[in-house]
Structure 1
Amino acid sequence: MTLFEQILTARGLTTRAARQAFLQPDYMAVKHDPFLLPDMKKAVARLKQARQQGEKIVIYGDYDIDGLSATALLLDAFGKFGFEGVDAFIPNRFVEGYGMTMGAVDKVRDMGADLIVTVDTGSLCYAEIAYAASLGIDTVVTDHHNVAETPPPSVAAVNPKFSGHTYPFRDLCGAGVAFKLVQALQTELDGLPDGYEKWLLDLVALGTVCDIVTLADENRANVYWGLEVLKKQQRPGLKALMAVAGIEPEQVNARHLGFGLGPRMNAAGRLETAQHALDMLVACNGMEALAASEKLEELNTKRRGIQDAIFEEACVQAEELADDRVLVVSSSGWNHGVIGIVASKLVEKYKKPVFIIGERGEEATGSARSFGDFSAADAVRAVDDIIIKGGGHGAAAGVTLATGKIGDFRRRVNEFYDSLQLTNQERYLLPRADVEIDDFSEIDEELVANLAKMEPFGNGNPEPVLKITRASVLSMRRMGADGQHVKLALRDKNSKVLQMLAFNAPEEFFREPGDEVVAWFQPTVNEWQGVRTVEGRLLHIILLD
């Protein structure tokens, strides 16, 4: 069995049929009936009525990439279906915040709306939807977030998380649910012939990858074919953004979406307004697209600078709180659109759950990141008597509290951590190897090419990891302005050498020549001045006992 076959087997792909279905996703095979989703018939009926009566539709989006992609998708599709005067409203993170608000409903009313179609939000917006109804505005909700037992008072609430339906796949993102609405409308309206909806899959792929939903079933096929659409560069905005980001269209993969396009789009909402990102997505010509993309690049550069400054300040506090099991760091002036990213970097550096809090006068807003058996949301619930509001899930949460309560909050979340009596939590941060190898004999370009066939990678289908059980360090080279990167030459038992590279490497990665090590890595191809070499992206390394 080849190494590639071992990796497929480790992923549970043991038969030829299973491997073919995985490696060549069939769009039609997982194109589930959209009318199996709750309230889809009601949603389609209300939209048909709006089209017949020439009503004003406002798509109520969200400032994250999933919400923006879903908004652009419906703007595109509704135009093809012949809806006229469709507009979009994207809430501002710093004004409206997440979800529908009363003030935002007033703004949508001022836009002349007769019908609101939400994307990526709305399932829990009971009061806001009722308020819109009191103003004579109907709402159709399309969403994928968690729900309560009863749906909101909307004309329709299309969300796979509701119970009582037979739709076979529940982990769609917001853009995925919006895409199902388009598929349903195709059966009732002219303008977008069957099959042509696939040209919208670039936007579905963007939302699916960046919202980190499971890349299985419908999601895998949508992203697989969405990447093919992206390679065709049909959308001026994404074509321009790929150019600005230095992404070769024919090479685009899920990693480029998550780490190339995604951060640039997110920077707009984190610093100013996500409208800049929507402007890029819906740009009709190259000049508009390039101007919008350059604006996003400028904001992303600014975001990185702000992020780095906050991270440095937070690290100073973290060193002073070295004995705390949960890091709670805070300061005035920390941009709350950026602190979530910093929280993730702090988890990576200190290997502890993190709450990072931006103080704004008497009130403070924080973002949490966690891992393993410590739930950030449970920690917030455990201290709900001293906070203003908060919530989330195991890996991430948000909290708002009085600035004067931050010290009490730090003490209480650490007491909650201790009460759980958790042990060996760092193991959850370590890479898990698909296959262990004892030499580098099959680490070649053919393997890298075969691994690429397993794309798209992401949640539910991580990029394969290999573990070399014994190798010796031949050389070590520090790289980067501050020597923060490392390049190791590792030699296997047969004297074959593989270069391993890690950016912003922790100190334990800087091993000395002669060290005997175990290493976890991902094979890659590096091309420099026309020369291609297979290397390893070093994920973890330990000294052999």
Structure 2
Amino acid sequence: MSGYDSSTNIDQTMVSTSELPPLVRDLLRKRGIEGEEAIDRFLRPDYHRDLADPFLMTDMTKAVERLQRAIVAGEKVAVYGDYDIDGVSSTALMVEVLEAHGLEPLSYIPDRYKEGYGVNQAALEQLAAQGVTLVLTVDCGITAVAEAAWAAEHGIDMVITDHHEVPDQIPQAVAVVNPKRPGDEYPFKELAGVGVAFALVRALQSRTGMPDVGQEKWLLDLVALGTVCDVMPLVGENRALVKYGLVVLQKTKRVGLVALMQSAGVEPESLRAFQIGFVLGPRLNAAGRMEHANFSLELLLTKDPIVAQQLAFQLEELNHQRQLEQQRIFEEANALAADYASDPVLVLADSSWPAGVVGIVASKLAESWGKPALVLELRDGVAKGSGRSAGGYPLIDGITANAELFDRFGGHAGAAGFTLPADNINLLRQGLNEHFLEVEPELEVTNDRVADIDLDDANQLNWELYHALAQLEPFGQGNTQPVFEVRNLKVVSLDTIGKNQQHLKLRLASPEGLIFESVGFNLAQDYPNLRSGQEVAVHALLEHNQYQGKSTLQLVLKGIQ
């Protein structure tokens, strides 16, 4: 399937448990992990123990049997995905597995701007014209009621795999595989779309013997990409999938990912979940935001190193364009937000803001203003956008309370996507602000800078602690990298660095004279009055810095008091 040495045992590379410092044990206890058995299970995810039987998912048997019939008959099968990384990695995974079974599957990812999210009838018509008799959806399809009915009427079977919230009415398809279906017995409900697709691969493998037992693990690079970039909680089964997936990524022979890591300046052997989410992820997502996600799909599937390098260069360029566009929109939206500074919820719209970028801008606005932000593109009388919450406000509740204003919407407490008539924007602004004021007394205000561990003694920030914390990786949603509050530090020196002098570089000293090199990304404008000699407390991550072959501990600052 991927040409890897079948003798390689991924399990051997997993980190072993060691004696944990009391600080780390206390952190685990605060996160609900205590007792030797629970700690051991958390620190040492086990592929065979932690992944449940895929046939516990409702309709999994039906899905496997339909795929088996397609394989035996050599049918024309299409894998229908989504334009985000979860959808693209899911599509690549299933295309690769079906090819290994002797099929020549088509792939279809809708255009973000022309088609939008999910299965659409025009795409099914196109696939039907190409002779497709089976459509397998990944990371989408759970709401495709009308589309599945059309497919059935026109001789196309559908097998739907998805992980999104299940509506009251689900499509009438050959199989609908989603662990969130009511009554579904699969014990872990927070899989990404690619996690559900991988469960289908494991189920199919148990019936066909392909790929060889153990070789399916080499698909976990794709599973890790989709799971991390879709911001799924890195606990339970996801923790095992991503931890093994990182091992695969660190030694991947997938030439597209090798080229992407080279162009992004990522060393494969030191790859962490953070770099998936904040270095590789934005580049892969840039294709769908600026052009078409097929560029990213081709990069994941190509076997040609030259093509891989060309595609990686294209993604690098598209990501640069995305960054410029994102910055432009943020500056314009931030200026417009000043006109609505008294509103508890920001609702901002403009015809020059592409819908593919507004979600990122909404996140930045919500963070900088400390309030929920919705950012919309206006085009042909339609407003399409994304929202991000802040301050504990359940954004989807506010949107649902104004449901009559929307053509369609979806999301959860922290984020949402939506489409509505442009004429309804003022009504939406009014409705959301009224809803916020109604529920404000009940909100549990969160402080993103609350520390996980308080320290009066900076001497505890040492290599022993760093290596112990490394065993908690992968960090991400549901298992965040711990933030330390370190008090009684003195600023020995400070400087601003970066293209726009936007970063802080500090040397901090403990009362005992221990010096910490520290960096605060994008913090320079937040602390214009900081001076050498000041005594401070900081919120920081404990990291290491590699420079000229020398490793040193470093504090990555999140806030200064």
Q: Report TM bin, short chain.
A: over 0.9
Where does residue 466 of structure 1 map in the other structure?
484
Cα 1:31–1:404 shift into 2, 3 Å? closer
Q: Which stretch of the first structure deviates more once superposed, 279-288 or 17-26?
A: 17-26
Where does residue 18 of structure 1 map in the other structure?
38
Q: Distance in 2 between matches of 1:400 and 1:143?
A: 22
Q: Which of 468, 475, 479 is residue 457 of structure 1 equivalent to?
A: 475
Q: Deviations over 1:423-457 (max 9, x none)?
A: 887x5242332221102102123322222221111
Q: Would you say 1:541 and 2:550 are equivalent positions?
A: no
Amino acid at match of 1:28: H
Task: State the SS of the aligned residue for 2:207.
Answer: coil
* Equivalent pair of 1:509/1:540 in contact (CA under 8 Å): no
Where does residue 132 of structure 2 map in the other structure?
113
Where does residue 445 of structure 1 map in the other structure?
463
Where does residue 65 of structure 1 map in the other structure?
85
Structure 1 position 528, deviation (Å): 2.2
Q: Distance in 1 between matches of 2:137 and 2:407?
A: 27
Q: Distance in 2 between matches of 1:361 and 1:142?
A: 33
Q: Distance in 2 between matches of 1:508 and 1:264?
A: 28
Where does residue 275 of structure 1 map in the other structure?
294
Structure 1 position 107, deviation (Å): 1.6
Q: Deviations over 1:20-67 (max 9, x none)?
A: 322221111112111111101101111111112221110011111111
Q: Would you say 1:308 and 2:333 are equivalent positions?
A: no
Where does residue 57 of structure 2 map in the other structure?
37
Q: Which of 524, 537, 540 is residue 518 of structure 1 equivalent to?
A: 537
Task: State the SS of the aligned residue for 1:152.
Answer: coil
Amino acid at match of 2:496: R
Q: Distance in 1 between matches of 2:557 and 2:370?
A: 18
Mapping for residues 226-241 of structure 1, pairs under 5 Å: 226-241=245-260
Q: Deviations over 1:82-122 (max 9, x none)?
A: 3x221111111112110111111112212211000000011
Q: Which of 390, 408, 416 is residue 389 of structure 1 equivalent to?
A: 408
Task: State the SS of the aligned residue for 2:132.
Answer: coil
Q: Distance in 1 between matches of 2:442 and 2:514?
A: 39
Q: Distance in 1 between matches of 2:111 and 2:51?
A: 34
Structure 1 position 204, deviation (Å): 0.6
Identity of counterpart residues, as a percentage? 43
Q: Distance in 2 between matches of 1:28 and 1:289?
A: 33
Q: Distance in 2 between matches of 1:376 and 1:447?
A: 38
Where does residue 70 of structure 2 map in the other structure?
50
The TM-score, its normalising length taken from structure 1, stands at 0.95
Q: Distance in 2 between matches of 1:401 and 1:352?
A: 22
* Equivalent pair of 2:506/2:517 in contact (CA under 8 Å): yes
Amino acid at match of 2:511: K
Structure 1 position 323, deviation (Å): 1.6
Where does residue 477 of structure 1 map in the other structure?
495
Q: Would you say 1:181 and 2:236 are equivalent positions?
A: no
Q: Distance in 2 between matches of 1:287 and 1:80?
A: 23
Q: Deviations over 1:360-404 (max 9, x none)?
A: 132221211003431222222233333433332111112323333
Where does residue 430 of structure 1 map in the other structure?
448
Structure 2 unaligned segments of length 5 or more: list them: 1-20
Q: Distance in 1 between matches of 2:123 and 2:523?
A: 44
Q: Distance in 1 between matches of 2:524 and 2:434?
A: 29
Task: State the SS of the aligned residue for 2:460.
Answer: coil
Where does residue 496 of structure 1 map in the other structure?
514
Q: Would you say 1:254 and 2:273 are equivalent positions?
A: yes
Structure 1 position 150, deviation (Å): 4.5
Q: Would you say 1:329 and 2:348 are equivalent positions?
A: yes
RMSD of equivalent CA atoms: 1.8
Q: Would you say 1:140 and 2:159 are equivalent positions?
A: yes
The TM-score, its normalising length taken from structure 2, stands at 0.92
Q: Deviations over 1:341-368 (max 9, x none)?
A: 0110111111111011111132221211
* Equivalent pair of 2:492/2:508 in contact (CA under 8 Å): yes
Amino acid at match of 2:374: F
Structure 1 unaligned segments of length 5 or more: list them: none
Cα 1:107–1:402 shift into 2, 3 Å? same
Q: Distance in 2 between matches of 1:532 and 1:234?
A: 28
Structure 1 position 534, deviation (Å): 1.2
Task: State the SS of the aligned residue for 2:405.
Answer: coil
Task: State the SS of the aligned residue for 1:421.
Answer: helix
Number of positions where the alignment pairs a residue of Structure 1 with one of Structure 2: 540
* Equivalent pair of 1:351/1:429 in contact (CA under 8 Å): no
Q: Which stretch of the first structure deviates more once superposed, 57-66 or 99-108?
A: 99-108
Amino acid at match of 1:354: A
Structure 1 position 14, deviation (Å): 3.2
Q: Distance in 1 between matches of 2:531 and 2:425?
A: 43
Task: State the SS of the aligned residue for 1:367.
Answer: strand
Q: Which stretch of the first structure deviates more once superposed, 146-155 or 204-213?
A: 146-155
Q: Would you say 1:351 and 2:370 are equivalent positions?
A: yes
